[in-house]
A = this chain, B = another copy of it.
Amino acid sequence: MIGARGRMGAEVVRAVGAAPDLEVVAAVDAGDRLSDLADAGARVVVDFTSPDVVMDNVRFCVDNDIHAVVGTSGFDAGRLAEVAGWLEPKPGLGVLVAPNFAIGAVLSMRFAELAARYYESAEVIELHHPRKLDAPSGTAAHTARLISRAREAAGLGPMPDATAQEEPGARGALVGDVRVHSLRLSGLIAHQEVVFGTEGETLTLRHDSLDRTSFMPGVLLAVRSIAGHPGLSVGLDAYLDL
């Protein structure tokens, strides 16, 4: 584990430690030496650190033939291409860069993408605690873009909407051609609903994250599966059998 003293890192150390088939051989953070990981014989490294150090960490893993599961943000196309380049001479080695390890969020997005072409209408509602700074959430905006693209690929026209009088903001924000609505309420954690509608029926995909630990099953799945997915993978859905 790199970033072992961070909030996410501490949870990962605890969850890996509790899994009967896995073991934490080394847990480092800022100030520790990465070589401890190699010395301890780590086969997979999990990185929840920060954008300014993550590239060095991944490079270290690749150089030492250690698979890397990376939850740190800040990966643009340039960084991804660089990592892919490092992996070229190492055909058996895997790196997973994933913005979201909550399996339900990943499944919701994938299912939304699959369902989009079969429905005339689609909108997204996301509900979060009131300390959140951005609206809509990154996951909701990403989901809306996936739906937009799937609708376009299927040749669907604009959604029906006769609204003629609108109180500003009532119909939400337009992301692609999908309306997104953001609620902020005390007591909530992180929740999302994608609602699809066609003649006489609706389909709703709802994901509720009730705890930071919702990321753990996805991290454990990645640690267990990475050896079977060599090369660079982006997004946990690459590891799900969908």
A residues sitting closer than 8 Å to B (CB atoms) are: 102-104, 107-108, 111, 114-115, 117-123, 125, 127, 130-136, 141, 159-175, 179-189, 195-217, 221, 240-242
Contact = CB atoms under 8 A, between A and B. Distances in A.
Interface SS, A side: mixed
A173 B170 contact: yes
Contact of A170 (B180, B204, B213): B180
Given A107-B118, A167-B175, A197 B186 contact: yes
Nearest to A114: B242
Nearest to A105: B201
Contacts of A180: 167, 170
A176 to B, nearest CB: 12
What is the copy number of this chain in the assembly? 4
A217 B203 contact: no
9 contacts: A104-B201, A119-B186, A121-B130, A135-B166, A167-B175, A171-B182, A183-B195, A200-B216, A206-B206
Nearest to A206: B204
Given A107-B203, A197-B185, A133 B209 contact: no
A221 B198 CA distance: 13
A185 B127 CA distance: 19
B167 A170 contact: no
Nearest to A190: B201
Given A111-B111, A202-B187, A242-B114, A169 B165 contact: no
B200 A213 contact: yes
A187 B172 contact: no
A175 B168 CA distance: 10
Given A208-B202, A210-B188, A169 B167 contact: no
A173 B181 contact: no
Q: Nearest 3 CB-CB pairs, A to B?
A: A185-B197, A200-B214, A200-B211
A210 B214 contact: no
A187 B200 CA distance: 4
